[in-house]
Amino acid sequence: MKKEYDFSKGRRGAVVASAPGKTRITIRLDDEVLAWFRNVVNESGGGNYQTLINNALLEYMSQRQEPLEKVIRRVLREELKRIA
């Protein structure tokens, strides 16, 4: 270790910039929610639990924007395909 370090060219902020369209935040989740997402990722052979949470939220958003009639029709079509 050096006795002194030169930080004159140092910059504040994140070391790695966020990808375009992404924002870094701090969020508090229940322990069991986080454990569930981590477990799903581990069982599937790896990956990123944060991406899985993001995908779950995006899916929830798309379903909330879909009118109830469309949801019912989609579910019925899926179930009919499954039993046919």
pLDDT of 66 > 80? The answer is: no
* Per-range mean pLDDT, top range of 1-5, 21-25, 54-58, 59-63: 54-58
Cβ–Cβ < 8 Å for 38, 49 = yes
Q: What is the mean pLDDT of residues 34-61?
A: 94
Give me the pLDDT at residue 44, please: 93
Q: What is the C-alpha separation between 53 and 37, in angstroms, rounded?
A: 7
Query: Is residue 65 scored above 90 in pLDDT?
Result: no
Query: In this predicted model, what pLDDT tens digit does every residue of 2-18 receive, in sequence order?
Result: 899 998 888 887 777 78
pTM: 0.59
Q: Identify the residue with better confidence: 43 or 1.
A: 43
Q: Rounded CA gap, 46 and 38, in Å?
A: 9
Joined together, the tokens standing for residue 28 give 């508090």
- Angle between helix 49-65 and helix 31-43 axes, rounded to 10 deg: 110
Q: Name the residue type at position 69.
A: E
**What is the rounded average pLDDT for all residues in the chain?**
89
What token pair was written down for 75?
A: 């579910």
Cβ neighbours of residue 60 closer than 8 Å, sequence gap 6 or more: none
